[in-house]
Structure 1
């Protein structure tokens, strides 16, 4: 298969997942974010990179957003929220963080492709993105993208749709978001 055909198939796959998630899953994710005082985000591997991307955009909206593991991440408590990514439905580190956040009184949210997984079943809010992950990429795999890339690519674009929705809900302009971008690059 040529690179152009591979790219076309990948775009089609991403579009199909987004079609199934929009607009309902955006609302599922956006409403709790708007109600949170402080937001901490976490994911492992490439999913973690997508969560960092989301944290940056939430910060651009002027929200109090932090990446778990950064030295400046404050403690969570009542009124706060931990958002995690667990595409396959289970990661031990993610489970541990959920327990800590819940004990502190924070709400919890999981972005997943496997809503019946251990982590999604333990959180306050579940965002379901129906995409192939690394956990189901071998026998019967359907995505042209390797390993969990379909889930991660969908996350990036889905999170941008969430940000656009939040921006509109908050009455912010693109320039207001840009004003929060760092000047230290």
Structure 2
């Protein structure tokens, strides 16, 4: 397959996955985050990179946002939301962190492609991105031109940016206010 054809196919797959998100579930996630005292994000591997990107945008919105594992991450408790990524639906580290967060009184929101799996089942809110992950990247059903979980991870980026636009409108944060919070240490 030619490069331009692969790019077109990958872009279409990303569009379909992002467009396949339930608007009501996305609106629910906006409300979950809008009502949070603090938001802490977590994901493993490349999903973790997307969660870091989300945390950065939440910070740009003026929210108290952090990433699990960073030295500056505070404890969570009542009023806080732990947002976890579990594309394939189950990671032992995610389950462990969920237990700690729930035990401290925080809510858990999950972003996944496998809504029937353990992590989403134990979450207070679930946002499903219908995309191939490593849970379904082998065998005759493989549909994506992208390897492994790349379709899910790329779709996360698009969905998270749409989430931020909706949250920005919900909270009344201007683009200039977001830009003013961007680092100058570059």
Normalising by the smaller structure, the TM-score range is: over 0.9
SS of equivalent residue, structure 2 residue 20? helix
Q: How far apart are the structure 2 equivalents of 1:177 and 1:15?
A: 26
Deviation at 1:171, TM superposition (A): 1.2
Aligned to 1:127, the other structure's residue is in SS state strand
Query: CA offset at residue 22 of structure 1?
Result: 5.3
Q: Distance in 2 between matches of 1:28 and 1:149?
A: 25
Q: Deviations over 1:73-130 (max 9, x none)?
A: 0000000010000000000000000000000000001100000010000010000001
Tell me which moved more, 62-71 or 165-174: 165-174
Match runs of 1:76-155 below 5 Å = 76-139=76-139, 140-155=141-156
Shift of 1:184: 1.1
Aligned-pair distance for 1:170? 1.1
- CA shift, 1:23, in A, is 2.6
- Tell me, yes or no, if the aligned pair for 2:22 and 2:128 is still in contact at 8 Å: no
Counterpart Cα distance in 1 of 2:169 and 2:22: 16
Distance, in Å, in 1 between the alignment partners of 2:101 and 2:22 is 28
Aligned Cα RMSD in Å? 0.8
Structure 1 residue aligned with 2:177 = 176
Uncovered stretches (5+) of structure 2, i.e. residues with no partner? none
Question: TM-score normalised to the size of structure 2?
Answer: 0.97
Query: Unpaired segments of 5 or more residues in structure 1?
Result: none
